[in-house]
Every structure is written in C-alpha cells, then in structure tokens.
Structure 1
Amino acid sequence: MPGMRAVFLCWILIEVAVATGQTSCNPGEYEVPGDLSCSRFCPAGYYVSRPINQDHHIGACSQCESGTFRAHPNEQTQCTPCAQCREDQEVVKRCSATSDQECQCQQGKFYCDSVDCRESCFRCTRCEGNSAVLQPCNATSNTICAINPQSGKGLIPSLKFIKAKD
C-alpha cells in the first residue's frame, strides 16, 4: 500500500506545519498574520485593504492615496506618507503612488551632511582673490577653489569649506 504511505506522510507534514505554526509561502506571497494561509503581495502603488483567508490568492488591494506611496510589491496595510521638502530645498521628483518625493538644495546652495552641518543646505562658497573655480558648486557639494594658474603658483585645491555669510 504505497499510496496509503504517501497519504500518511502528507498528513504528518500538514500536522507538523499546523503544530509549529509555520506556513511555506511561495515567492511573491506572505504569511497572513493569525492565519495559516499565504496571500499574494499587493503590487507597488497599492496596499492590503482587506486580507483574504483563501490560500495563495490575493486580498483586496487599494491604490495609495495622493501624498502616499508603496515602491514595491507588499503586504502592508497602509501606504507610506511622501517626504516633504524643507524650505531650503526644491522638488526634483514629485511623489507618485509608486515612488517617494525627492528633494535637493535650491540652486546656489549645497547639502552638507557632516556632523558640523546638521543636514542643511548652505550657500555655495565664492572663489575670491587669486582663486579660481576648480569644481563648481552643485546640490550635493560645495565649490572647490584653487589658486589661479595665471598667478604662477599652479592649481592647488583649497579644500577648506567656508560657510558663506548671509
């Protein structure tokens, strides 16, 4: 009776899974909390508005509301609020149902994330005197000034960061 042996082994495996509270879900699925079933993820831009108790199916998914997002397939019961740009930043990419809002420092300012700066945008340094711009300021780094090559002293970068005065 090899058929009975297979049925018995399957029954044992099911009992062990129930006793240990473990469910083996397929890729793209998650274990439904408080239930021994698996549900498929909601797609990016959606969240689980109502779980389903039918194994290997998808629950009710609702689209993220304006101002919220979910970037990846998920089992979350709500969407994440979008980032807000600070006063000294501008929007680079608007928030959508599938991606967060991206911000950067306004033109003429750079982002400083060192311990000294405390995550703020600072006015770009102006090269003065016999200095020339070696690397212009951008949203993520300050101006790098160098001694003007016409002064006969060659290019020597000045890596000293100076907080511009208002």
Structure 2
Amino acid sequence: MVSDDSRLIRVSRAIDAPAKRVFAFLANAENHQALDTSGMVRGSADHARLDRVGAVFVMNMYNPIMGDHQVENHVVVYEPDRALGWAPSEPGAEPAGHTYVYRLTPLAHGRTEVSQTYDWSAFTHLDMIGYLPVVNRDELLASLDLLAAALDTPR
C-alpha cells in the first residue's frame, strides 16, 4: 500500500516477523543505518535506545548541503510493539516539524504489517521547505524491504 498526500508519504508491507521483534529492531538506533536508503545516515552517535516519548537519540548524518553533521531525534510516538516515531531537529533546537512514524499491525502466522509515514506537513523552516521531502516514496518502500531483510533470520 502507498499513500502520498501533498506533504505526507505513507508506505506499508507485510514482514515475516512478529511485531515485538520488529519494534525491538526499530527501537535500537544502532539499526537505523541499515534501513537508510537516502545515503544520509552514518550511524548512531549516542547509542541510545528509544524507550519512551520524550527520549532523544542523536544520529551522525551527511548530506551535500550540510556536510557531516548530527541530528537529534525526539521520540514523539512510543507504543510498545505497536508504534514508534520521532521528529528530527538540529542539536539543541526544537523539532523542525517533520516526523517518521512506524505503525505495526500483527498478522496471522507471526507476520506484521509495517506502515512507515514521513510527514512534513508541520515543517517550520520555510527556507528549507524546497529540500523536502528528504526521502521519497521509493526510498521509503526500499527501507521497508531492508527492514524485512534484516529480520529474515532464524527465530
């Protein structure tokens, strides 16, 4: 399934892993580079676990505009084994108004429907709005494929 509103992209697919396992993988910032299809994520800077709304984790990033830099990600959705999302910001600043949210729906036989939404409808940095979305629909779909591949191991 793919949804693409003017400032929101949502993709989903079934993954052969239970929701608890998918959630645990996503809640570990160390794993985020393995899901990156944009080429921007370099790795976790603080090795944090996403464990509650309000938690902040820092990622090392790169893009041609800013070069090497860090991004703080503020956890805005935390529902164990059901949903996890964050809002990026420059270090020490409030989130810029775009979010990444994963929603997990358990399916039969230990499978999970995983939906990923990138929403920039509340983005506040108008001088940067022309650079959004930072990821497109194809990249989000490919990221879910990488998630499925990462979880495709013996249970």
Fold shared per TM-score above 0.5: no
For the pair shown, the structure with the greater C-alpha radius of gyration is 1
TM range (shorter): under 0.3
Whichever structure has more strand as a proportion of its residues is 2
Q: TM-score w.r.t. structure 1 length?
A: 0.20
Whichever structure has more helix as a proportion of its residues is 2
